């Protein structure tokens, strides 16, 4: 059945309009990071800039000592380490637990999954005061380890749920065949299930990474120096401290957005097949 010309015209125009709405704010952010300060604060707006400058990026990449650039670079490193650690840990425990939820029979299976998911309803603000006291007792305040521990508790319920739904969508027969051939349960998980679960694993990892890169409240309260401060906190401080230097905020925003945006675009196709809500492949 071939779609009519009018329909095809309509969807292409709609896609074009949507793209403009989505890309315009990004374009403005990018533009603001390159254009001179006088162009940014001119009224009426100068749509063609007189100055184009790389100074903000230079400051962020090369600014030394106590400059905003050095603090921002430190925050990028922290964010990468925290997000990386969280992805590895939450994915590992999520794969193991998800397999149990999908394939093993044990009492209270549904309740177990639900009790994990219910933690998602607890607002961080409810946990943050006792957590703060607890972390200060164990010397975890203002450390990346402390953030990883907290973020794992946020990412794991999703990992568990997504992986269990994904495993559940794979045919049992493959695993049975492997076990008939003498594989142990864990052997079948590693040799048969995991290679087939690439979309689910990548979607889970991407989700966990974005979650960590995005999280703000815990990081705001639990970190105080460049030892552990993450990118969102650094950006929020940018907007406070350099409230007039819009260009620098824009440049920081562009750089902070780069890793998650690049990852999301790269793994886009796994997201559609790998998200649990679509784990039943069409």
Partner 1 sequence: MTAAPPARPATAPPARPRTPPARRWPFARRAGGGQVRLALLLLLPAALVVFGVVLYPAGRALVISFYDVDSPFPGRYPFVGLRNYTQVLADHRLWTAAGHTAYFTAVSTALELVLGLGLAQLLAAPLRLRWFFRAIVILPWALPTIVNGAMWRWILNAQYGVANALLTELHLQDGYRSWLGNDPFLALNMVVVADVWKNASLVAFFLLAGLQTIPRELNEAARVDGAGPIRSFCRVTLPLLVPHIALVLVLRTIEAFKVFDIVYVMTGGGPAGGTQTITFFTYLEAFSAQRFSAGASLAYLTVIAILVLALIYLRLLRQSELRSP
Between 130 and 195, CB nearer to partner 1: 130
Q: C-beta of 7: minimal distance to partner 1 in Å?
A: 7
Between 28 and 227, CB nearer to partner 1: 28
Residue 117: which of 160, 166, 169 has the closest Cα?
160
Q: C-beta of 114: minimal distance to partner 1 in Å?
A: 7
Backbone angles phi, psi at 35, to 5 degrees: -95, 145
* Sequence-separated (6 or more) residues with CB below 8 Å from residue 268: none
The answer to whether 164 and 112 have CB atoms below 8 angstroms apart is: no
Euclidean distance between CA atoms 185 and 179, whole angstroms: 7
Q: How far is CA 13 from the centre of its chain?
A: 31
Between 64 and 106, CB nearer to partner 1: 106
Q: C-beta of 232: minimal distance to partner 1 in Å?
A: 4
Q: C-beta of 107: minimal distance to partner 1 in Å?
A: 7
Q: C-beta of 24: minimal distance to partner 1 in Å?
A: 9
The answer to whether 112 and 101 have CB atoms below 8 angstroms apart is: yes
Euclidean distance between CA atoms 11 and 1, whole angstroms: 17
The answer to whether 193 and 176 have CB atoms below 8 angstroms apart is: no
Between 47 and 64, CB nearer to partner 1: 47
Between 77 and 261, CB nearer to partner 1: 261
Between 150 and 202, CB nearer to partner 1: 150
The region that residue 142 occupies, defined by phi over 0 for left and psi between -120 and 50 for alpha, beta otherwise, is: left
Angle separating helix axes 231-241 and 68-103, nearest 10 degrees: 150
The answer to whether 105 and 191 have CB atoms below 8 angstroms apart is: no
DSSP state of 3: P
Between 19 and 224, CB nearer to partner 1: 19
Q: C-beta of 74: minimal distance to partner 1 in Å?
A: 17
Between 24 and 62, CB nearer to partner 1: 24
Measure Cα distances from 180 to 100, 185, 191, 192 in Å: 19, 11, 14, 13
Q: C-beta of 73: minimal distance to partner 1 in Å?
A: 16
Q: C-beta of 1: minimal distance to partner 1 in Å?
A: 6
Alpha helix stretches (DSSP H) within the chain: 5-34, 37-40, 55-62, 68-103, 109-118, 124-137, 144-169, 172-180, 185-188, 194-196, 198-214, 217-222, 231-241, 246-266, 268-274
């Amino acid at each position: 059945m071939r779609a009519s010309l009018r329909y095809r015209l309509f969807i292409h125009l709609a896609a074009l309009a949507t793209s403009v709405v989505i890309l315009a704010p990004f374009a403005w952010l990018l533009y603001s990071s390159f254009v001179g300060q006088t162009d940014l604060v001119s009224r009426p707006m100068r749509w063609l800039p007189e100055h184009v400058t790389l100074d903000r990026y230079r400051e962020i990449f090369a600014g030394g000592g106590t400059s905003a650039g050095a603090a921002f670079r430190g925050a990028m490193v922290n964010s990468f380490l925290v997000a990386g650690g969280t992805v590895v840990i939450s994915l590992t425990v999520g794969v193991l637990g998800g397999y149990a939820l999908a394939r093993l029979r044990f009492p209270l299976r549904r309740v177990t999954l639900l009790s994990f998911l219910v933690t998602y309803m607890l607002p961080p603000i409810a946990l943050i005061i006792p957590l703060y006291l607890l972390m200060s007792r164990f010397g975890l305040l203002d450390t990346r380890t402390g953030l990883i521990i907290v973020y794992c508790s946020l990412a794991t319920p999703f990992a568990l749920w997504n992986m269990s739904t994904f495993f559940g969508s794979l045919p049992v027969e493959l695993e049975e065949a492997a076990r008939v051939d003498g594989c142990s349960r864990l052997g079948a998980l590693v040799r048969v299930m995991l290679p087939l679960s690439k979309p689910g694993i990548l979607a889970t990892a991407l989700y966990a990474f974005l979650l960590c890169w995005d999280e703000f409240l815990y990081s705001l309260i639990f970190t105080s120096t460049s030892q552990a401060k993450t990118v969102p906190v650094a950006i929020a401080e940018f907007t406070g401290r350099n409230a007039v230097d819009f260009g620098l905020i824009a440049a920081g925003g562009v750089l902070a957005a780069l890793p998650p945006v690049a990852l999301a675009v790269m793994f886009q196709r796994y997201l559609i097949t790998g998200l649990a809500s679509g784990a039943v492949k069409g």
